[in-house]
Each structure stands twice: as structure tokens, then as C-alpha cells.
């Protein structure tokens, strides 16, 4: 007589109603980690840890990352949306695309006038996607907070997340876009004062990255950062017990340095759209469906 063993895994995920709340307990479900590097030195996200993260698929097959900011709207980068490649589907509700739900995009909105450059839209690189029907919030689907004072403060660190291509620090070559949502192993560096911003920007190759506007900020670090496909994804800070989206991945560069001991070291210097500068536009465009808090 053959005996069959059935293993039942119970995952207790609390239900959240407010923005910026996520599962942090080690008792929550963890998706099995694969033998790949994500983002740049990234690691897979636990189910429910960042329930606002979505993958956006466009009519030409391209993908970007976005965030749920209300039951009706997704926040992403404007440069992801091309004239002949409108956003078509949103994948949400899980950390792996094969397990995600899908919903169609009804409309999209740009912020202000833009200056078109090769790799983005200087100063106004954000967009809102309106969904065909409202999302149902649960322990794995929920909005991130926006704040009028959400710009990073001195000595504050942040994390990034997305579905972008992966890079190996040993061999600098791209891999296919990630099917897992991932965050880097280490927090990206915080910026402190104007001098620190200048130091960050001066390391950016390419003239399009050197003219950082007041509505943007620069951040990055060694062996951690964003890549293609992470565009539109969040730069997040944890403040007062909730997650706040401070920035949107806009543009930047990955570059390498040869090191005698470590081989090749990957550096990332990125430019992020400062969401706090666009709160009035977001609230007006969504007809108050999305609100930025005062703190």
C-alpha cells in the first residue's frame, strides 16, 4: 500500500485597509528564491511585503514597473508610455507574474509639459494609469502612501523595487526581465545636502543625466540599483510605521569598475522623480481619488 504524504502550508496574512501597510512577519509566506540576481544584487520579495507593486505590459510587449496608489489608479514613469505603445494590462496581487491577476488599463495621464530627451522626460517623468474597474484590496493588494513631505530627509535611506533585467557583478551582461518582483540586498544610499547631490550627479555619464531638476533627486550605490524594466517603479521610505513612495525610477546609468580583489564592481547612479512636487497634479487628475498626506 502506497502512502501519500500531503504537506499543508498555512500562511496567515492580515488584511490591511490603510495605505503603506505590508506583511513584515517571518510567519508570512515566502516565495522560493531562484538562483539568479535581480535588479542589481537584488533579492526576491516576500508575498504581501509590498502589495502595491505591479508590472505593466504595453501593446508592443515592453514592460515597466508601477505602484497602486488607489483602487482606480497606478503610478508609473511617463517615459514608459510611447505614442504607439499604450499601456494595456496591469499584473498585480502576487510577487511572481505567473500567479498574478490582470486588469486592463482604461486611460493614461501625463504630468505637465516635458522636455523630450533620449532616455526620459526631464523633470516631469511620471504618469497615472486609470483602470477599467476598481481593484479589491486585500492582504496582497493595497496602495502605497504618497506624502507632500515625502522627499527623503537627511540620513534617511530608501529601497527600490521592480521587474527589471538582472545583472551579474562577475560578468556584466543583462538577463531577461525578472518574473519576480525584487528589491536590492542593500538600501541605496541616502542623499543629505546639496553637496551630496552634486557628488551623485557628477558620476553620471551622459549629458541627459547631469541636469537634475528641482523636481528630481539623485541616488545610487555600489552593487545595488535599477535597470531596464524597473522604470516607473518606486523608491520607498519607511516612516512613522508606513511605507511612503518618495520617488519614481526615471533615468540613470549602470557602469562598472574593474577591481583586483572583487573583479568587476557595478555602480548605479539614478535620477528619481520627486513625487511630493506633483501632489497637487495627482490629486486634481484623479479628482481626489488619490490624496497626498500632509506628513
- Judge if 272 and 163 occupy the same domain: yes
- Judge if 184 and 249 occupy the same domain: yes
Quick one: average pLDDT of 214-231?
64
Quick one: average pLDDT of 218-229?
56
Range of the domain at 215: 159-276
Residue 127 lies in a domain: yes
Residue 195 lies in a domain: yes
Is residue 134's pLDDT more than 90?
yes
- Judge if 137 and 199 occupy the same domain: no
Residue 149 lies in a domain: no
In sequence order, the β-bridge partners of residue 75 are 67, 128
Residue with cell 557628477: 202
Residue 202 lies in a domain: yes
Residue 41 lies in a domain: no
Residue 1 lies in a domain: no
Report pLDDT digits (tens) over 225-258. 445 546 889 988 888 889 999 999 887 666 566 6
CB 164 within 8 A of CB 230: yes
If you average pLDDT over every residue of the chain, what do you get?
71
SS3 sequence of the chain:
CCCCCCCCCCCCCCCCCCCCCCCCCCCCCCCCCCCCCCCECEEECCCCCCCCEEEEEECCCCEEEEEECCCCEEEECHHHCECCECEEEEEECCCEHHHCEEEEEEEEEECCCCEEECCEEECCCCEEEEECCCCCCECCECCCECECCCCCCCCCCEEECECCCCECCCCCCECCCCCECEEECCCECCCCCHHHHHHHHHCCCCHHHCCCCCCEEEEEEECECCCCCCCCCEEEEEECCEEEEEEEEEEEEEEEEEECCCEEEEEEEEEEEEHHHHHHHHHHHCCCCCCCECC
Is residue 175's pLDDT more than 60?
no
pLDDT of residue 159: 82
- Judge if 183 and 126 occupy the same domain: no
Is residue 292's pLDDT more than 90?
yes
- Judge if 79 and 170 occupy the same domain: no
CB 143 within 8 A of CB 123: no
Instruction: Tell me the C-alpha distance between 255 and 200, whole Å.
Output: 13
Instruction: Tell me the C-alpha distance between 276 and 5, whole Å.
Output: 53
Residue 38 lies in a domain: no
pLDDT of residue 137: 95
Instruction: Tell me the C-alpha distance between 42 and 225, whole Å.
Output: 9
Query: Distance from CA of residue 212 to its chain's centroid?
Result: 20
- 220 versus 65: which is more confidently predicted? 65
Residue 225 lies in a domain: yes
- 231 versus 266: which is more confidently predicted? 231
Instruction: Tell me the C-alpha distance between 59 and 87, whole Å.
Output: 6
- Judge if 81 and 119 occupy the same domain: yes
- Judge if 169 and 271 occupy the same domain: yes
Report pLDDT digits (tens) over 58-115. 888 888 899 999 999 999 999 888 776 788 999 999 877 788 899 999 999 987 644 4
Is residue 218's pLDDT more than 70?
yes
- Judge if 138 and 191 occupy the same domain: no
Is residue 41's pLDDT more than 50?
no
Cell of 183: 528589491
Quick one: average pLDDT of 170-174?
37
Cell of 220: 545610487
Cell of 37: 540576481
pLDDT of residue 170: 36
- Identify the CATH number of the domain in which residue 138 sits: 2.40.10.10
Report which of 60, 85, 42 is spatially closest to residue 226, judged by C-alpha positions.
Answer: 42
Instruction: Tell me the C-alpha distance between 200 and 217, whole Å.
Output: 9
| pLDDT-above-90 percentage for the chain | 28
- Judge if 133 and 60 occupy the same domain: yes
**Total domain count for the chain?**
2
Quick one: average pLDDT of 139-150?
92
Q: pLDDT category, 124, cuts 50, 70, 90?
A: confident
- 95 versus 281: which is more confidently predicted? 281
Quick one: average pLDDT of 28-34?
36
- Judge if 106 and 138 occupy the same domain: yes
- Judge if 271 and 167 occupy the same domain: yes
pLDDT of residue 169: 36
Residue with cell 514592460: 63
| pLDDT-above-70 percentage for the chain | 54
- Judge if 66 and 114 occupy the same domain: yes
Amino acid at each position: 500500500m502506497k502512502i501519500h504524504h500531503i504537506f499543508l502550508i498555512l500562511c496567515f496574512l492580515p488584511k490591511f485597509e490603510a495605505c503603506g501597510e505590508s506583511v513584515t512577519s517571518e510567519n508570512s509566506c515566502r516565495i522560493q528564491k531562484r538562483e539568479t540576481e535581480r535588479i542589481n544584487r537584488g533579492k526576491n520579495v516576500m508575498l504581501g511585503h509590498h502589495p502595491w507593486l505591479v508590472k505593466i505590459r504595453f501593446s508592443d510587449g515592453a514592460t515597466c514597473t508601477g505602484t497602486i496608489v488607489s483602487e482606480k489608479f497606478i503610478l508609473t514613469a511617463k517615459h514608459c508610455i510611447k505614442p504607439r505603445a499604450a499601456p494595456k494590462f496591469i499584473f498585480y496581487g502576487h510577487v511572481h507574474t505567473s500567479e498574478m491577476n490582470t486588469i486592463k488599463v482604461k486611460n493614461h495621464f501625463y504630468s505637465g509639459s516635458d522636455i523630450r530627451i533620449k532616455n526620459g522626460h526631464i523633470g516631469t517623468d511620471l504618469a497615472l494609469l486609470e483602470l477599467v474597474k476598481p481593484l479589491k484590496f486585500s492582504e496582497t493588494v493595497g496602495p502605497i502612501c504618497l506624502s507632500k513631505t515625502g522627499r527623503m530627509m537627511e540620513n534617511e535611506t530608501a529601497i527600490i523595487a521592480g521587474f527589471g533585467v538582472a545583472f551579474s557583478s562577475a560578468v556584466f551582461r543583462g538577463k531577461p526581465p525578472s518574473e519576480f518582483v525584487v528589491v536590492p540586498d542593500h538600501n541605496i544610499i541616502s542623499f543629505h545636502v546639496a553637496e551630496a547631490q552634486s557628488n551623485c550627479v557628477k558620476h553620471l555619464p551622459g549629458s541627459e543625466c547631469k541636469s537634475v531638476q528641482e523636481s528630481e533627486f539623485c541616488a545610487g550605490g555600489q552593487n545595488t540599483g535599477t535597470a531596464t524594466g524597473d522604470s516607473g517603479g518606486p523608491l520607498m521610505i519607511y516612516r512613522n510605521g508606513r511605507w511612503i513612495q518618495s520617488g519614481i525610477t526615471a533615468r540613470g546609468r549602470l557602469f562598472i569598475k574593474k577591481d583586483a580583489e572583487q573583479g568587476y564592481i557595478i555602480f548605479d547612479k539614478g535620477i528619481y522623480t520627486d513625487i511630493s512636487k506633483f501632489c497637487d497634479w495627482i490629486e486634481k487628475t484623479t479628482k481626489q481619488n488619490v490624496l497626498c498626506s500632509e506628513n
